Amino acid sequence: MSLFVPVSSLTPRHLIFPLSLVLFEFATYIAHDMIQPGMLLVTDEFNVGPEWVSASLTAYLVGGMVLQWLLGPLSDKLGRRPVMLTGVVFFMLTCIATHWVQSIEQFILVRFLQGISLCFIGAVGYAAIQEAFDESLSVKIMALMANVALIAPLAGPLAGAAFLTVGEWRTMFWLFAAVTAVALIGLWRTMPETSGDRNTSLSLRSLGKGYLALATDRQIMSGSLAIGLVTIPCLAWVALSPVILIHDEGLSRMDYALLQLPVFVAMIAGNLTLGRLASRLPIDRPLRLGAWPILAGLALSVASSAIDTHSYLWLTAGLSLYGFGTGLVNAGLYRLTLFSSNAGKGSVAAMLGMVSIVVFALGIEAAKGAYFSGGALWFSLVNLACGVVWFVLVSAFLRERQRRSQLH
């Protein structure tokens, strides 16, 4: 068993590890966000309809679910470092493979394989960050990592639109592989080993028993579901905004890219605010503060879409307000959920990741169905419903946390 002591202050070497991890995370995100302006080019090349645009993200998220159940416990046993490095190499190879796809089905399959990289980030990388640093420092680092990761949906559509004026969409994936190679070097040189217990059992019986215990833990499940639900409006916007803005509203790819800016700048502002608050307030306080902009922003989107189904500027404004609230709540909720159980942190991170990604995939499909059935209003109503259920779950989560702390 590793006796690694969590770090309470950063040195340059300590900083390179989370920066390398977030560079890998950035590569996995930008592999989706840069291609989004070109997804209609992909569907045109393969002679299929615009409904395949969101299938790319859905396949990516499903890939991010399929191996978490194994990778978390595997990293509890073998250590975080070798498992994480294997995942980085796998993503790099699947990016290169995209160059040779010949049909939309092959493209979606490769997107699914690339999505498996999300398993390594959630079940292994995030757990390593939480173990490597103490509570306030890990929340600050996770909030700052979220900012760097948000550069992908912020800059990705703009960079993608610009790239497509001079290059071909397949060439993008060589760029993603190159960025991943840089992250691999950084992780190889600086990632500490925070775990590793050879006595951890990986038998199906043992894994099933462990996950059953986690599935019946109200804290783990309510926190995991809440993390998934609060992220759905953002992911649904990423998945469907090319259809909403380019296909249906007739905007240019550059106009579409510019309309991503307010949503993700607001999320970055929320994360920066959380970073400032992390060492000054109890960890649960930003969760309570963030509920207001989340619910108000999603309600604004519904109201504007009810008045005019083509009011995409007000829809963007509502999602931007929601984005600020989301930035305030996610890092703290992740930390609280991960440490609400005494089970191995790899297993808890895997459970959290699996539940939230199932919620992501179902939520995107629900938002997609709503939009194609009832336009922006139905799309916004699905997002608001996710926000309301998130609020109920987080309220229950905090009450249960308070009850458990009183018992101890």
Higher pLDDT, 235 or 380: 380
Query: Is residue 26 situated within a structural domain?
Result: yes
Domain that holds residue 294: 13-407
Q: Which pLDDT belongs to residue 278? A: 79
182 pLDDT more than 90: yes
- pTM, two decimals, is 0.79
Query: How many domains, in total, are found in the chain?
Result: 1
Query: Is residue 8 situated within a structural domain?
Result: no
HEC readout, the chain: CCCCCCECCCCHHHHHHHHHHHHHHHHHHHHHHCCHHHHHHHHHHCCCCHHHHHHHHHHHHHHHHHCHHHHHHHHHHHCHHHHHHHHHHHHHHHHHHHHHCCCHHHHHHHHHHHHCHHHHHHHHHHHHHHHHECHHHHHHHHHHHHHHHHHHHHHHHHHHHHHCCCCCHHHHHHHHHHHHHHHHHHHHHHCCCCCCCCCCCCCHHHHHHHHHHHHCCHHHHHHHHHHHHHHHHHHHHHHHHHHHHHHHCCCCHHHHHHCCHHHHHHHHHHHHHHHHHCCCCCCCHHHHHHHHHHHHHHHHHHHHHHHCCCCHHHHHHHHHHHHHHHHHHHHHHHHHHHCCCCCCHHHHHHHHHHHHHHHHHHHHHHHHHHHHHHHHHHHHHHHHHHHHHHHHHHHHHHHHHHHHHHHC
Q: Which pLDDT belongs to residue 4? A: 64
Query: Is residue 154 situated within a structural domain?
Result: yes
Q: Which pLDDT belongs to residue 300? A: 97
Mean pLDDT, to the nearest integer, of 105-128? 91
> Mind listing the pLDDT tens digit for each residue in 43-65?
899 988 887 887 887 888 788 87
Average of per-residue pLDDT values in the chain: 88
Q: Which pLDDT belongs to residue 194? A: 82
The percent of residues in the chain predicted with pLDDT above 70, rounded, is: 97
Q: Which pLDDT belongs to residue 369? A: 93
Q: Which pLDDT belongs to residue 408? A: 63
Mean pLDDT, to the nearest integer, of 190-202? 83
3 pLDDT more than 60: no
Mean pLDDT, to the nearest integer, of 30-43? 84
Q: Which pLDDT belongs to residue 400? A: 87
373 pLDDT more than 90: yes
Q: Which pLDDT belongs to residue 1? A: 45
CATH of the domain at 373: 1.20.1250.20
Q: Which pLDDT belongs to residue 8? A: 63
> Mind listing the pLDDT tens digit for each residue in 247-268?
888 888 888 888 888 998 899 8
> Mind listing the pLDDT tens digit for each residue in 290-327?
999 999 999 999 999 999 888 899 999 999 999 999 99
Confidence of residue 9 (pLDDT cuts 50, 70, 90): low
Query: Is residue 7 situated within a structural domain?
Result: no
Query: Is residue 6 situated within a structural domain?
Result: no
